Amino acid sequence: MAFDPEFQKKLQIFLVAAIVLAGGRAAYVAYERHEAMKDDAKPKQETALKADYYVTPKKLHPYDLKSARQLTEQPVWVKLGYQHTYYPYDLQRHKTDFGHEAGTLLPLQKLAIQDVVTDVSPQAPGIKQVLARFSLDGKSYAVPIGAEKGGDFKIYSDDIFFIEDPRDLYKHWPADVWEKIDAHEVQAGMSELQASFAIGLGIPEGSGDYGWRTLHYANGGKPLAIAYQNDKAVAIKPGS
């Protein structure tokens, strides 16, 4: 049985179209597999940053001296270094020497709080300072964590300290990131949070959303400026 030329032409067009569609489908499947392999090969840092959203550090919510003394029940770690000044503390006189700054707490510095006390600073005679007392190298110090006036306490220890080991909270971070944090150094690819763990608080330059801005770090006297894109450090320069 012979096919007329017009039908043969249509059949050829149909077969060509079917071959093109099949080839396109095969190419698409290959592309999907390639993209899946790329996703699997993404750096662990990408996954780690997403996991940060699910970390919820414990808080004490202290409202008076008694509740604040829960800080003595476990070690604490400083959340933002180079921000909190501490002073010599006289154990016999129960007095803080507000006239002589002893230093600033370091990023993620681990402390054993021995007591929470109150004292009056000469700079604010009408307000009692709430202080966390601790020891370093055999000497006693105190760092302000709040204030009390007329029996009304405002205590900010939850903003100053972790009461869980940050290494456990953020154990999903790559080992090289923790090595830099322990050395108080930064590297390209670190997030804003990771950089703050390493070198303390950053001050924004102008406007910009979190993770898409430039921050200036005092860094204990070694200032740095870090530009972030998609919450990753892309440029690290000496600051002023």
Model confidence pLDDT, tens digit, residues 54-110:
999 999 999 999 999 999 999 999 999 999 999 999 999 999 999 999 999 999 999
Residue with the larger pLDDT of the pair 235 and 5: 235
Q: Which amino acid is at 126?
A: G
Model confidence pLDDT, tens digit, residues 11-40:
454 444 444 444 444 444 444 555 555 454
Closest CA to 52 of 191, 236, 158: 191
Q: Hey, what domains does the chain have and what are their CATH numbers?
A: 65-162 (2.30.30), 166-238 (no CATH)
Token pair 């499947």: residue: 29
Return the structure tokens found at 212.
Answer: 């898409």
Which pLDDT does position 43 carry in this prediction? 53
